[in-house]
């Protein structure tokens, strides 16, 4: 469970970091685009901002999917542990061997 938790935290942290970076980039580009005077350059900057926003939205969905996957893996592991705890050991005599030392 500890390994799974660490893996989950690493995955979430990495995706959250990428999201924060994209947010910073978008904010910077929006600030810079306000300074642009030429319409064609402003349009180009807006398209770049839209592309980054699409990428950010995709990363968000990936983060949510990863969290769902992590939760399902945890559930699978817990179910497996429960099944092992419910196991009953039974001993049956299958055959008998007799031998003598002479």
CB 63 within 8 A of CB 16: yes
User: Can you give the pTM of this predicted structure?
Assistant: 0.62
Q: How far apart are the first and last CA of the chain?
A: 56
Q: Is 35 exposed, middle or buried (0-12, 13-18, 19+ CB in 10 A)?
A: exposed
Q: What is the pLDDT of residues 15-62, one digit of tens each?
A: 889 889 999 999 999 999 889 889 889 999 999 999 999 999 998 888
Measure the CA–CA gap between 102 and 99, rounded to whole angstroms: 10
CB 23 within 8 A of CB 49: no
Q: DSSP assignment, residue 90?
A: -
């Amino acid at each position: 469970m500890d390994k799974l938790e660490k893996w989950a935290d690493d995955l979430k942290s990495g995706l959250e970091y990428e999201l924060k970076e994209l947010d910073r980039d978008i904010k910077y580009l929006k600030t810079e685009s306000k300074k642009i005077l030429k319409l064609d350059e402003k349009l180009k900057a807006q398209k770049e901002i839209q592309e980054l926003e699409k990428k950010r939205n995709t990363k968000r969905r990936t983060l949510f999917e990863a969290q769902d996957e992590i939760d399902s893996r945890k559930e699978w592991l817990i179910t497996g542990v429960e099944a092992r705890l419910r196991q009953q050991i039974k001993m049956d005599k299958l055959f008998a061997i007799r031998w003598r030392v002479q």
